[in-house]
Structure 1
Amino acid sequence: MTVNSPQPLLGRSALITGASSGIGAATAELLAARGARVALLARRKDRLDELTGRITAAGGTALAVPVDVTDGSALGAAVSQVAEVFGGVDLVVANAGIMLPAPIEEQRADQWQTQIDLNVTAAVHTVGAVTPLLVAAAAGGRTADLFTTSSIAAQNIFPTFAVYSATKAFITHLSRHLRAELGGKDVRVSAIEPGIVGTELQSHVTDQGARDWLAGAAASVEFLTPQDVAEVIAFAAALPRRVNLQQVTIMPTRQAA
């Protein structure tokens, strides 16, 4: 299939973490619409079942796999289940994450650990679980993609977002290294770095200063939608096998930094 085809991802088998909402859900729907079979990994079974229903009603193929991706053994079992059902995996979107900004002086160690567990540790376990499948797909002559969801916060400075930003800088740098390690095996690795996206991430924020900052941004900037980010992922996945978009920054037009 070509990038200009209505279904350029026909025959691809995708696995998406954090698929119950936001960027993950939008990406799952779009990849399915473009022909890929999609496995949906997240904790909220009700959300996954609803999303699976929408995808199948639209003529797509989806598999819901409820799992807590911070549980490394459970995640490994979920990835194995997807590989068995789909006969392999050649497109992965490691998207699960959370944003909990707060001034460092508040010593919110609970929130620090939650962000590290989900944004860093779970991402590394996801990469570890899917890499053999992607290498095998590439060795078999198929296009193989690993997308990681980072953030513009990996590059820029946002006071009170220190721990969140550090986790995203980890993801961007991890992705660069993975590309160097896996590119020679024809596995493409892409770090996706969005600016502000209108998702439920903002609803998890408990710090009032950060909430006020986000509200002020919303008054002056039209946020990206999850579908905007999904379009970029779907486009990159449909490019010729020789083309790897290593790092893509996606900004709202009015967001300066």
Structure 2
Amino acid sequence: MNTLANTLAKPLTGRVAVVTGASSGIGESSAEHLAELGARVAVLARRGDRLDALVSRIEKNGGTALAVAVDVTDAAAVRSAADRVAERLGTTGLLLNNAGVMFPAPIEELAVDQWQRQIDINVSGLMNVIGAFVPQLIAAAAEQGVADLVNTSSIGAQNIYPTFAVYTATKAYVTHLSRHLRVELGAKNVRVSALEPGIVETELAGHVTDQDALQWLEDSRETVEFLTARDVAETVGFLAALPPRANLQQVTIMPTRQPH
């Protein structure tokens, strides 16, 4: 009876989870929640001090975690990180590909550096992580019967938000890529999901400098209760705990009062 209760409370026991962008927001909260569900968790981001603090919290709560400071735009460093995870925790069977940045601005401002930064992290960084960890996901699925690749996209992949053109275009890439990868990898028992949140209360909005975008966010606060990172984290945990036969390929989670 205790074994059954433990399995229900910790459905990810025996699985190794990797979370990128884990130093704050959705990544940080997801790492903590996946550890609560029983996974051994590797947390990846550039800010090593924050990762160390996160690992300490997870371990204090009885979990197992590993901090790996890495920039996802450095393909060689990401491959080295993947090797370290395999050596320290085991074969990765769950990947939350979450690192991302958002810099809205009118296209006529020609904020080329910001365009490139979003493409480098949201697209190229995403691909670097996929390239480094997909072999482990396939191996884990062969051993355990299932593995999961969850890519953090955005409601912006579907809807139109003025001044967010480049950011939302990168997220449309994430969603469309995820659909294709689901077909490729599903035959090997690797489930692929695109997770599309609406407005979430995270540091991401703190990077915004465009005044129109800032005003839109502030105006939204008057009528909308934003999602929390924990709301999204619990959705990630739900996806990973589904029976192996079930794959939610695209999940949109919105604040109840956010219209679009």
Interval of TM-score (by shorter of Structure 1 and Structure 2): over 0.9
Percent identity of the aligned residues? 62
Deviation at 1:100, TM superposition (A): 0.4
Residue in 2 that maps onto 1:64? 67
Residue in 2 that maps onto 1:48? 51
Aligned partners of 1:94 and 1:147 also within 8 Å: yes
Residue number among 230, 247, 251 corresponding to 1:248 in the alignment: 251
SS at match of 1:248: strand
Write out per-residue CA displacement over residues 153-200 of structure 1, whole angstroms, 9 at most, x where no aligned residue: 000000000000000000000000000100011100000000000000
Deviation at 1:143, TM superposition (A): 2.0
* Deviates most, 14-23 or 80-89: 80-89
Aligned partners of 1:3 and 1:239 also within 8 Å: no
After TM superposition, which residue ranges in structure 1, 4 or more long, deviate above 4 angstroms? 1-4
Residue number among 63, 88, 93 corresponding to 1:90 in the alignment: 93
Residue number among 161, 165, 190 corresponding to 1:162 in the alignment: 165
Pick closer, same or farther for the CA change 1:239–1:4 going to 2, 3 Å: farther
* Alignment partners' CA distance in 2, 1:140 and 1:64: 25
Pick closer, same or farther for the CA change 1:3–1:188 going to 2, 3 Å: farther
* Alignment partners' CA distance in 2, 1:141 and 1:6: 19
Aligned partners of 2:154 and 2:195 also within 8 Å: yes
Deviation at 1:3, TM superposition (A): 10
Deviation at 1:61, TM superposition (A): 0.5
Pick closer, same or farther for the CA change 1:2–1:153 going to 2, 3 Å: farther
RMSD: 1.2
Give the counterpart letter for 2:57 in structure 1. Answer: R
SS at match of 1:87: coil
Aligned partners of 1:193 and 1:248 also within 8 Å: yes
Q: TM-score, normalised by structure 1?
A: 0.98
Residue in 1 that maps onto 2:189? 186
* Alignment partners' CA distance in 2, 1:2 and 1:8: 10
* Alignment partners' CA distance in 1, 2:187 and 2:239: 18
* Alignment partners' CA distance in 2, 1:78 and 1:4: 30
Residues paired across the two proteins, number: 257
Q: What are the residue-to-residue correspondences of 1:73-222 with 2, within 5 Å?
A: 73-222=76-225
Deviation at 1:252, TM superposition (A): 0.3
Give the counterpart letter for 2:179 in structure 1. Answer: R
Aligned partners of 1:2 and 1:8 also within 8 Å: no
Q: TM-score, normalised by structure 2?
A: 0.97
Pick closer, same or farther for the CA change 1:199–1:7 going to 2, 3 Å: same
* Alignment partners' CA distance in 1, 2:158 and 2:143: 36
* Alignment partners' CA distance in 2, 1:192 and 1:3: 28
Deviation at 1:4, TM superposition (A): 7.5
Deviation at 1:220, TM superposition (A): 1.2
* Alignment partners' CA distance in 2, 1:102 and 1:57: 42
Residue in 2 that maps onto 1:234? 237
Pick closer, same or farther for the CA change 1:139–1:171 going to 2, 3 Å: same
SS at match of 2:218: helix
* Alignment partners' CA distance in 1, 2:139 and 2:39: 18
Deviation at 1:2, TM superposition (A): 8.9
SS at match of 1:185: coil
Q: Which 5+ residue runs of structure 1 have no aligned equivalent?
A: none
Residue in 2 that maps onto 1:34? 37
* Alignment partners' CA distance in 1, 2:45 and 2:192: 22
SS at match of 1:90: strand
* Alignment partners' CA distance in 1, 2:84 and 2:25: 24
Write out per-residue CA displacement over residues 63-118 of structure 1, whole angstroms, 9 at most, x where no aligned residue: 00001111111111111110111121100000000110000000000000010000
